[in-house]
Chains A and B, each alone.
Chain A
Amino acid sequence: MSLPKLARLPSARLLTSVLPHHQLLLPPLSPLTIPCRTKIQQDYRRPGQPREKRYPYNFNFSKGIEGIKKHFTLLKDEFFGRWVGPEGKPLIEHLLEQNLVIWEFRGPESLKQWTVSSDQEIGGQSEAHLKMGRNDITCFLHGKLNCTVPRDGETRYSGYCSMRSKIPKASFDRKKHYDWSSFNTLHLRVRGDGRPWMINIATETYFSHQKDDIYNYFLYTRGGPYWQEVKIPFSKFFLSHRGRIQDNQHPIWLDKVNTIGFTLGDKAEGAFQLEVDFVGVCKDYAHTEEFAYEMYERNPKD
């Protein structure tokens, strides 16, 4: 099941709070020094933890019936949605729309689309919790960061937490992607406490080595009682792999976006909180930049 996998995948941390293999600004190590995890990896398994057993399966009749109902309803919606237009919306809307709200937190069911993780997966002591905000209108991510490094001999930094959306699912648990190719700006309304967060967008990749490729950018909160509207153009997102910013940069491909996430890892111990009202994308006609970083070859052969 891909849902539990997602829950345990550590999302990209900030530039500094990373595990030792994931060295920021370091190229792939030469063959002699590469760690032994070169083969295709599944989720992150904390060293020392037993591998999980996949069997025996639990069979539950009522859950099965519910599942069948849910999937067939989704299938029916998809089938008849095609007659309305692409992605279930009329064609003219799909072509001309300028703003689209992707996630808004109205009601506790919206929290089910998000996964919260913290450095407890690598043995740290930070906590993070997600609940509905005041009047069930916003989401409230709060917790406590603890920067003590877990003593397992290989971890160097600690103290992070993150909130990541789940991959949208079509009928029968097939992966669906967001298509934001007609938009160019990410627009959020947040209210933080002055801490700097990082936004991570993960897209669908072809090769398995690109699985941990994430596009990041900073989300600086002002703090205070007023809401903050943040607009980040997609041209500003830089590519990183496993928390390490890469040399070869390219603009994010928006046609198959999987997840978006918020991470905090600013090495300040203490409580944190972030309220998010909605996350949307929009098309800003005034923004003409294609990419904010240079794309020339970084390590020339000569």
Chain B
Amino acid sequence: MKCARCLLQLQGLRLQGLRLQGLQLPGLQLQGLQGQSARSAAQHGALLQSSSQPHMLRNTQHQVIRRFHRSPINDKNQPVPAEFIDEDDNKKDKSLVIHDDLFEQVARETKTKATFNKVVEVFIKQDVRRRGHVEFIYAALQKMPEFGVERDLAVYNKLLDVFPKEVFVPRNFIQIMFNHYPRQQECGVQLLEQMECYGIMPNVDTKVLLIQIFGVKGHPVRKYQRILYWFPKFKHTNPYPVPKNLPEDPVDLARLSLARIADDRDAKVTVYQLACTDITESGEEITLPHVVGIQSPSQMELLAQHNPSRPVFVEGPFPLWLRDKCVYYYVLRADPVPPEEKVEEPYDPERSLAYPLQLDLDLDRDLGDEESFDVEDLDEGEVFAMCMTSQGDQAVLNQWVSGLQQNNPILGRVPTLFRLEQGPRELQGAHKTKSDHQHRPDPQTQREEEEEEVSVEEEPRRSQGMKP
């Protein structure tokens, strides 16, 4: 005798077959039914009949068809055995019906939080015993990034809700000792570990759920307690925090990152050009990139004191990482001054009237009071300004330098050389021959181009490289 469940399978297939053919059999009278099973099957059949639209086959009343005596290790990817199909009408489609992954089915539609929640609800409602919940949760954890819900605490709580409550709570000390329901505990721990991975702090709902499911003495609750201890300790350890939601607009992003690397609160950000598209006379579209620069007053002073006979270099692009986003910036800098040319200006006593800046006393510090390290100071040349732009070619950087010139007139007299490299910059040790020289055309300088290039090449290449 066929049990009710097998008959349900038949009905489902039949209805599917009918759907394919666009027919509707009147009255789902089942063959070989007896007694009470007829009633339940008829009820189910009625429900199935009432759901006339095709997609409602997956409604809340739908039972995932699976074998009765086998534990459903995968309620996904289980082909229905052919014998059941062959018993149907020969006119129907004879292909194997494969039950896809519930998540894969959603892939055809849009993947959002709502659909993810719907899938979880389907799973919860279809079986009160939640057969196969461990595999379902693992699959859900894996699919979360595709649906975009990996940073959503409510979704994790909903997923925790899939676990049956109070079944896995140990009831005596032996059960506690021996890792009661280890697979489920491992699954719970894995869920919390994914939350930890994305930096999501669990809340009191998570705690209540975990205690209901696993009891107070299990591994998941211990892990939750650890998260609650260590996360607040490490939350504010970053002295240069990056905001969680980075600005979308590239100009705002450039402002943020330039203010970050300038290390000076007095530095001023100037937007020299906003991104726009121009149409020239010939009808071509030219996109102009945005150019954002930064310079602080101390940098302006240093630039004003710079010796005009020495060139300044525009170097770049250098990478800067903000969380998982990499932006590039360019630097205007000069080579370090050789020691023989260094001029030590005497301290102006009027700069500080409260105390003298320079003392001529003959006091020495004791060994125990030596507060500086015995390391030579790095002299790598000063940085005069930084800028960020989406397109780092010479024309755009020329624009930047001419924009800088308005505030720093010395740039008109100083030769500017460009050391640009395509792609992310590493140390130039291996790329010594690739530096690109170009003299910036400036009507005010008297020097000739060849002279400049020769004099530059004669200088020892001490300070090649990416960063000043």
Contact = CB atoms under 8 A, between A and B. Distances in A.
Given A135-B463, A225-B331, A282-B373, A97 B367 contact: yes
B320 A218 contact: no
Interface string A204-240: 0000000000000010111111110000000000000
A225 B333 contact: yes
Interface residues of B, number: 63
Contacts of A132: 429
A268 B324 contact: yes
Given A33-B179, A220-B239, A273 B319 contact: yes
Contact of A25 (B230, B368, B462): B230
B374 interface: yes
B426 A273 contact: yes
Contacts of A131: 427, 429
B375 interface: yes
A159 to B, nearest CB: 12
Given A194-B321, A224-B260, A26 B219 contact: yes
Interface stretch (A75-83, A98-106, A254-262): A98-106
Contact of B320 (A98, A99, A224, A292): A224
Nearest to B242: A194
Contacts of B323: 268
Nearest to B382: A225
B296 to A, nearest CB: 11
Nearest to A90: B367
A156 to B, nearest CB: 9
Interface in A119-152: 131-135, 137-138, 140, 142
A278 B377 CA distance: 11
B261 A223 contact: yes
A280 B368 contact: no
Nearest to A282: B373
B132 interface: no
A238 B260 CA distance: 28
B374 A99 contact: yes
B105 interface: no
A16 interface: yes
Identify the interface centre among B239, B386, B427: most chain A CB within 10 Å of its CB: B427
Given A25-B227, A26-B219, A226 B263 contact: yes
A267 B370 contact: no
B197 interface: yes
A15 interface: yes
Given A222-B240, A223-B320, A275-B467, A104 B375 contact: yes
Contacts of B463: 134-135
A25 B196 contact: yes
B326 A96 contact: no
Given A99-B374, A134-B464, A224 B368 contact: no
Interface in A19-41: 23-27, 29-30, 32-33
Contacts of A47: none
B264 to A, nearest CB: 9
A98 B368 contact: yes
Interface string B387-409: 00000000000000000000000
A23 B193 CA distance: 9
A125 B260 CA distance: 31
B97 interface: no
Interface residues of A, number: 62
B383 A226 contact: yes
B424 interface: yes
Nearest to A27: B222
B427 A134 contact: yes
B68 interface: no
Interface in B8-45: none
B324 A194 contact: no
B468 A225 contact: yes
A195 interface: yes
Contacts of A225: 261, 318, 331, 333, 383, 386, 467-468
A272 B238 CA distance: 19
A254 B162 CA distance: 48
A270 B197 CA distance: 19
A191 to B, nearest CB: 7
Interface string B452-463: 000000000011
Interface string B304-334: 0000000000000011111110100101010
A271 B368 CA distance: 43
A176 B370 CA distance: 27
B389 to A, nearest CB: 16
A65 interface: no
A101 B373 contact: yes
A222 B260 contact: yes
Given A26-B219, A223-B261, A225-B386, A99 B373 contact: yes
A223 B326 CA distance: 11
Nearest to B324: A268
A18 to B, nearest CB: 10
A293 B371 contact: no
B378 interface: yes
A65 to B, nearest CB: 34
Interface core residue of B226, B323, B371 (most chain A CB under 10 Å): B226
A224 B319 contact: no
Residue from the set A25, A29, A32 with the largest chain B CB neighbour count within 10 Å: A25
Contacts of A194: 240, 242, 260, 320-322
Contacts of B368: 96-98
A191 B465 CA distance: 14
B375 A278 contact: yes
A99 B370 contact: yes
Nearest to B199: A16
Interface string B221-252: 01100110010011001111010000000000
Interface of B: 177-179, 182, 189, 193, 196-197, 219, 222-223, 226-227, 230, 233-234, 237-240, 242, 257, 260-263, 318-324, 326, 329, 331, 333, 366-375, 378, 380, 383, 386, 424, 426-429, 462-468
30 contacts: A16-B196, A25-B230, A26-B189, A29-B179, A30-B177, A30-B178, A32-B178, A99-B371, A99-B373, A134-B380, A134-B464, A135-B380, A142-B427, A187-B373, A193-B319, A193-B320, A194-B240, A194-B321, A195-B321, A196-B238, A220-B237, A220-B238, A220-B239, A222-B260, A224-B261, A245-B226, A270-B326, A273-B426, A277-B375, A282-B373
Given A24-B193, A137-B378, 8 more contacts: A26-B219, A134-B464, A222-B260, A224-B262, A267-B324, A271-B319, A271-B326, A280-B373
The 5 closest A-B pairs by CB, nearest first: A224-B261, A134-B465, A25-B226, A96-B368, A268-B324
